[in-house]
Amino acid sequence: MAGFLDPAVLFFVFGMLAGAVRSNLEIPQPVARFLSLYLLMALGLKGGFALAKSGLTVEVSVSLAAALGLAVVVPALGYVLLRRLLNGFDAAALAATYGSVSAVTFITASQYLADHGVAYGGHMAAALALMESPAIIMAVLLANLTRQREARAGGRALPEGHSLRHVMHESLTDGAQLLLLGAMVVGILSGEAGEQAMQPFAGDLFKGMLAFFLLDMGLLAARHVGQLRGMSPWLLAYALGGPLAHAALALALAASLGLGVGDGTLLMVLAASASYIAVPAVVRQAIPEARPALYFGMSLGLTFPFNILLGIPLYATVAQRVLG
């Protein structure tokens, strides 16, 4: 209940309610974009400052390796399951969406841990960056294989498909991801002096900016709930059950590797989150055969609100009991 009464989460709920009653309240797109970039920059700085203090330890390396492993396993398992319900293109797009990560969910979770006095490593911001691209690349490969199979079955010439090199460039040089990594490098290089200088920007303003951004996300989520109408109950079940299963997989991995409560919670959050910004932008271009209403509606209309309102407190509680 304490997590639900967090001001930032309450602003998200308020945004959903305002969107549900079709209020004309809206955050201008340039402002929303600025808030997103601010949060990523502040998160990167915090991670960099923490890494400057701790250095590249064995625990840091293990955590990053675990994150990278999940970034490959989660979309692979998701595709195998979703292929039973959907065609190859929709299954690949949805597997990429749920195999990638949500930066806002991660930022909200990190703030939740900070508010509850749970320590976590700044290197988990690097884990966020590492987990974004593998699912996208895997989905494009799977979509190209589907195109080739369909072409052979229809006796048509094999399509050239979309350039994997182009997709890799887009996913690895995404502006938001580069800002996160760049801010982390700045934090590492500037160290304690930089942390003191940037405290008003990356520390004092962070909570208010997060609340403002979650208000916008609540409005956006409410306006995409309608896309869930008419969907298979199995897909709606996946939108909730998939994240829980992914979080359980991350928890088992964290326990086997001896990760702490904070790092374990964030690893669960990363595995359970679904991308609604980076993946849809790339997938819409790389897999035009897939239905945007499916992967965008499920991730933003159902999975994102679930994680923000219920998932994060649940993952933190379970991690405390298992890893604490």
User: What is the full DSSP assignment across 179-213?
Assistant: HHHHHHHHHHHHHHHHHHHHIIIIIITHHHHHHHH
Domains of the chain, CATH where assigned:
29-323 (1.20.1530.20)
- Does the structure show a pLDDT above 70 at 170? no
| Predicted confidence (pLDDT) per residue in 104-128, tens digit | 899 999 999 998 999 998 888 888 8
224-261: per-residue pLDDT in tens?
777 778 888 999 999 999 999 999 999 999 999 999 99
Measured CA to CA, the distance from residue 313 to residue 111 in angstroms comes to 12
Angstrom distances, CA of residue 239 to CA of 69, 234, 264, 268: 22, 9, 22, 16
pLDDT of residue 262: 94
266/272 Cα distance (integer angstroms): 10
C-beta separation of 15 from 217 below 8 A: yes
Q: Are 266 and 124 in contact (CB under 8 A)?
A: yes
Residue 287 contacts by C-beta under 8 Å, 6 or more apart in sequence?
89, 92, 93, 139, 140, 143, 162
Model confidence at 48, in pLDDT bands (50, 70, 90)? confident
Q: What average pLDDT does range 195-205 have in this prediction? A: 89
Q: What's the rounded Cα separation, in Å, for the pair 40 and 34? A: 10
| pTM given for the model | 0.85
d(CA 39, CA 252): 29
- pLDDT over 70 percentage in the chain: 91
pLDDT for the residue numbered 173: 66
Answer with the residue of higher pLDDT: 162 or 143: 143
